[in-house]
Amino acid sequence: MKNLIGMYECKVDTKGRLMLPSGLKKQLAAELQEGFVLKRSVFNSCLELHTMAEWNGVMADVNKLNRFVKKNNDFIRMFTAGVRMVDADSTFRIQIPKDLINFAGIKKQLVLASVGNVVEIWDKNKYESTVNDSSVDFGELAEDVMGTLKASEVDSIRIDDTSKVLEVDQEVEARVIKIDCSDRRIGLSIKAAEYDEEQIKKEQEQLDQLKPGEDLVALEHAFDNLDLSKAHEEKGE
């Protein structure tokens, strides 16, 4: 999976064509020959530009859904609505179809924002309004969706319940060993804080196989199994 970097401002012409910024050209050079997939965002009024390799991976997961379940069929139909294959021409321009321009409310000024392995294409005013939304507490959001800790990353000894070795409000030193932008999560390891580079590499290979919700646990749920009766006794309740 290729993690793209950068936020770029550019313009779209009256025919719906935009020229890929040089920063993205360099990062996507190997994918230019295969073309891209352009689609509506699921959660925002913007578009998503996928490489063919990344899109094939997404659809491999989608195609595992049982099509004889109506909600699955409805999801697939809506998820793939308006999907287009687009190619970059000799001047590295891609053309956005009119229906997708209307969906994203694109005028002239654009923002191309890399989000992990996808590039979001926004109308500039809408992008600025979204990222500056004062109703969203980014610190709270980051804590809620990004901090994850695998139980076995607490200690070299096998641990199934982190509450047996960690306490609420305890300060620990941990190393970031995985960043999964698609799931908006960060993998942390306490024991890896003292690893050398070779050990980190081995740990990374193992962590790449993990899935949030199965092997990773959100930090706010790390103490769900904590026996609170002891705490009540200490308070005299």
pLDDT of 27 over the 80 cut: yes
Q: Which helix (H) or strand (E) covers residue 142, if one does?
A: helix 138-145
DSSP 194-207: G--HHHHHHHHHHH
- Residues paired with 38 in a beta bridge: 49, 84
230 part of a folded domain: no
pTM of the model: 0.60
The domain boundary, picked from 88, 106, 131, lies at: 131
Q: Is residue 2 part of a domain?
A: no
Which helix (H) or strand (E) segment holds residue 118: the answer is: strand 118-123
Token reading at 186 = 């960060």
Q: Are residues 66 and 85 in the same domain?
A: yes
In this predicted structure, the answer to whether residue 229 has a pLDDT above a threshold of 50 is: no
* Cβ-contact 86, 35 below 8 angstroms: yes
Both 158 and 119 in a single domain? no
pLDDT computed for residue 159 by the predictor: 45
Rg for the chain, CA atoms, rounded: 22
Which of 95, 113, 131 is the last residue before a domain boundary? 131
**Which residues neighbour 112 within 8 Å (Cβ) at sequence distance 6 or greater?**
7, 8, 9, 10, 18, 20, 21, 24, 49, 119, 120, 121, 122
User: Which domain does 200 fall in, by range?
Assistant: 138-222
- Residue 145 forms part of a structural domain: yes
Q: Say if 166 falls within a structural domain.
A: yes
Residue 148 domain-assigned (yes or no): yes
52 vs 32: CA distance, rounded Å: 10
Residue 154 per-residue DSSP state: S
Say yes or no: 181 and 208 in one domain. yes
Flag whether pLDDT at 226 surpasses 70.
Answer: no
Quick check: 12 and 110 in contact, CB under 8 A?
A: yes
Q: What is the pLDDT of residues 56-88, one digit of tens each?
A: 999 999 999 999 999 999 999 999 999 999 998
Residues 19 and 124 both lie in one domain: yes
Q: What is the CATH number of the domain that holds 106?
A: 3.40.1550.20
Number of domains in the chain: 2
